Amino acid sequence: MRPESPRRRVAVIGAALDLGQGRRGVDMGPSAIRYGGLVPRLEALGHDVRDRGNVVVEGVETLDVGQPEARYLTSIMRYGERLADEMVRCVASDELPLVLGGDHSLAIGVLGGLARAHGDAPGGLLWLDAHGDLNVPGTSPSGNVHGMPLAAALGYAPDHFRSDAWPLPMVSERHTTLLGVRSLDPSERSLIRSSELYVATMPEIDRHGLERCLERAIARLGEAPWVHVSLDLDVVDPRIAPGVGTPVPGGIGFREAHLAMEMLHDAGMIGSLQVVEANPILDERNATGALAVELICSALGQRIL
C-alpha cells in the first residue's frame, strides 16, 4: 500500500493569457478548471490551498500584434515577467505553484520565475504535450508563440526571449522530457535529433508502454535541482479532452493520463505544476475542465485505495 500523501501548501494562480495562439477563449481556462471544483477537491485531500486569483492581460484589444513571425511577443514577455514574480513569491513562501492556463506561452514566465527563484539553476522539466513547442521566431509556420515556450526555456533563441526577470537557459536539455508528442514541424524534428532531449512520442508509448517511458523520464528528472511539470491538455486524446485549441487525434487515454500523474506524485517529482490550453468555448459541458481537475488531484495524491 502506498504511504499517505504529504500535505502541501498549494498556491493556485490563474494565467488568463490567450495571446500566444489564434483561437479566443483559452483565457477562460482558469475559470473552467476552478468551476470543476478544484479548490475544495484539493482541500479534501488535506492540502492547504490559497487561490491567488488571475494574472490577466490588460487592454488586450489595443495591444500591438508586432512581427508576424512572433505575434504579440512583446506583450507575452511583459506578461511573463509578472508571472515570473508570482513564481518567486510562491517558492519563497514554500508553496507549490499550481498555474492554470491560458495558452502555453505562459510557460515562459512560469519557468523563468522558477529558475530565478532557485538561484538561476537550470531545472528539470516534463512537458506533456501533443506538440513540441520548440519553434523560434523564423521557424514557426504560424507565428503563434504558444509553439515556442520550450525553445525559450531551453535558451534556443536568447535574442528573442532574454529578460532581466529570468536566466537563460531556464531548464537543461538532459533533464527535459517531452511525452505524448505526435505533431512536430520539420525544424523541431531536426532540433530534437541533435539535442539531449528525451522525446517519448505516441508510437514509442504504444511500443513500450507509458509506464516504461515515464520511468525513464523520472530517472532524468531525479538528477535536476528542481522539477516542473507542464500538462497541456491536448496531450490527451481529443475524444476525452475536446476543449483544446489544437487537438491532434491519437493521444494518451484517460487511464494513461492518470497513471502518469500518479507516478510523478509517487516519485516525489512535482515541485510545481501548470495545466494549460483548456478552452471552454470549444469544450463539451466542461468535460476538459473537469478532466483537468481530476488529473491535478491525481498529481497531488488522490488515489482509489
* pTM > 0.85: yes
129 is catalytic: yes
Per-residue confidence band for 1, with pLDDT thresholds at 50, 70 and 90: very low
Residue 104 counted as an annotated binding residue: yes
pLDDT at residue 173 tops 90: yes
- 294 catalytically annotated: no
- Percent above pLDDT 90 for the chain: 95
Cell of 98: 499550481
The catalytic residue among 86, 234, 237, 283 is 234
Contacts of 47 (CB under 8 A, 6+ apart): 7, 8, 9, 10, 300, 301
Q: How far apart are CA 172 and CA 56, in angstroms?
A: 29
Q: Are 249 and 180 in contact (CB under 8 A)?
A: no
Confidence of residue 117 (pLDDT cuts 50, 70, 90): very high
Neighbouring residues of 225: CB distance < 8 A, sequence distance ≥ 6: 118, 121, 122, 123, 124
pLDDT in the model for residue 2:
54
The predicted structure's pLDDT at residue 22: 84
Identify whether 146 is a catalytic site residue. Answer: yes
pLDDT single digits (tens) 98-110: 999 999 999 999 9
Alpha-carbon distance 129 to 34, whole Å? 22
| Cβ neighbours for 18, distance < 8 A, ≥ 6 positions apart | 24, 25, 26, 27, 57, 60, 102, 103
Ligand-binding site membership of 175 (annotated): no
Whether the pLDDT of residue 237 is over 80: the answer is yes
pLDDT of residue 196 exceeding 60, the answer is yes
Q: Could you give the domains of the chain?
A: 9-299 (3.40.800.10)
Of the pLDDT bands very low, low, confident and very high (cuts 50, 70, 90), residue 4 is low
Question: Is a pLDDT exceeding 90 seen at residue 6?
Answer: no
All cell numbers assigned to 256: 494513461
Q: What angle do CA 190, 76, 160 make, to 5 degrees?
A: 45
Mean pLDDT of the chain: 96
Per-residue pLDDT, 21:
92
- The alpha carbon dihedral of 250, 256, 258, 264 has a sign of negative
Cβ proximity of 143 and 66 under 8 Å: no
DSSP, collapsed to helix, strand or coil, labels residue 123 as strand
> Which member of 47, 118, 146, 175 is catalytic?
146
230-244 average pLDDT score:
98
Q: Is 277 a catalytic residue?
A: yes
* ∠ Cα 168 83 43 (to 5°): 120
